Amino acid sequence: MTTPHPPQASPTRATRKILIAGGGFQTAFIRYMAALTGRPRPRICYLPTASADSAANKIAFYGYCASLGVEPYVQDSFIESLSQTKGWDEVLLSMDAILVSGGNTLNQQAIWKAQGIDVVLREAWDRGIVLGGASAGSLCWFEEGTSDSRPKALSVVQCLGFLPGSHSPHYDAEAGRRPMYHQLIGAGTLKPGYACDNDAGIYFENGEIARVVASRDGAKVYYVSVVDGQVVERVLEPERID
């Protein structure tokens, strides 16, 4: 008689971590992102696809990191194979955190999908590499949200879907954001979701809110949904980070 093998223990899944801000992902947020890695000197990769690999933004990123105990790295998306000798997976999966720039979310998503970067980012998330960003760098992780990526007016974009629901960045900084977000959610065009003022954000663990934070007094986060046929905006008061 064959003795059955004992059941195998399921491998422990890494905690999936995403830190977003409505705008202004600068030194305070990068410091918090670094702490979330649990590493003494984490490698933080800046991925400026949405800004078309803007040189000014890359210089700013290095400036924000200058006072922090981190190892900053930049990975361009507009590359060619003679100088880009490592694959997206070799670079991104070697990092402790990946910070995504602001810019044009629609173009960002198209480039990521064409290059397969979206697949690598999903693996990074599954491995527990901290993901994050502001503006296009916050919107990109949700199912959908509002963006200025097209001509003439704010519009809806579809994104990676790592986080459920919708998102609106720059909630206090651009006059059209709040009324459009309310209108789209009220009409059922957008799923309920999270709106973030500039300098305010959310840390998600495994798709759930773990902490609401802000680097500026007065900056807030909101959950916007429909209750009894009416759009309701619930304030999520943040903790201050510096």
Catalytic residue list? 135, 170
- DSSP assignment of the chain equals -PPPPPPPPPPPPPPPEEEEESS---HHHHHHHHHHHT-SS-EEEEE-GGGTS-HHHHHHHHHHHTTSS-EEEE--SS--TTT--S-HHHHHTT-SEEEE--S-HHHHHHHHHHHTHHHHHHHHHHHT-EEEEETHHHHTTEEEEEE--SSSS-EEEE---SEEEEEE--TTTSTTHHHHHHHHHHTTSS--EEEE-TTEEEEEETTEEEEEEESSTT--EEEEEEETTEEEEEEEPPEE--
